[in-house]
Structure 1
Amino acid sequence: MGRLLFFAIIAVLVFWLITRFIRKEESQDKESRSIEGEDMVCCAYCTLHLPRSESIVIQDKYFCSKEHHRLYSQ
């Protein structure tokens, strides 16, 4: 009876350690997968939202294309 109890406790401890290790790896994967965001801006002509890096900035206004800047200026 004592041996059975001993092996049961060992099995529970091994199971607990394995699940703890797996959870730790999953949380590290989630942290490394996080994507850093970028500021979004709005086109002054059509109000389309686009990343700042893809926009055209003219006179402190953001545009999604040169055509929209031209139409906005008229």
Structure 2
Amino acid sequence: MRLLILLVGLFLLYLFIKNYYRSLKAPPAPGQAPLAQAEDMVRCVVCGVNTPRSEAIFSGGEFFCCDEHRQARRK
């Protein structure tokens, strides 16, 4: 009886480990979004706030965090 319980326990452990390694090799599910890529940050020349490059305003060779700061720098 002990031998049977030991064999069943080892078999379950084998299945668990096999399933774990299979999940490590599997590609991500289609519903999961890929991890976002890091983006360069730029500093506003007026206030010094760091803003993502895609959201910053580039004018006259300088970066600004908002249009108000861009207009203030032009005056």
- Residue 47 of structure 2 aligns with which residue? 46
Query: 1:61, CA displacement in angstroms?
Result: 0.5
Query: 1:50, CA displacement in angstroms?
Result: 0.9
CA shift in 2, pair 1:14/1:73, >3 Å: same
Paired residues, number:
70
- Residue 19 of structure 1 aligns with which residue? 20
Which structure features the higher share of helix residues? 1
Structure 2 gaps, min length 5: none
- Residue 61 of structure 2 aligns with which residue? 60
Structure 1 gaps, min length 5: none
Match of 2:38, SS? coil
Whole-angstrom CA distance in 1 between matches of 2:56 and 2:14: 56
TM-score scaled by length of structure 1: 0.64
Match of 1:54, SS? coil
- Name the % identity: 28
TM-score scaled by length of structure 2: 0.64
Aligned CA-pair RMSD: 2.8
Amino acid at match of 1:50: T
Superposition misfits of 4+ residues, deviation over 4 angstroms: none
Amino acid at match of 2:73: Y
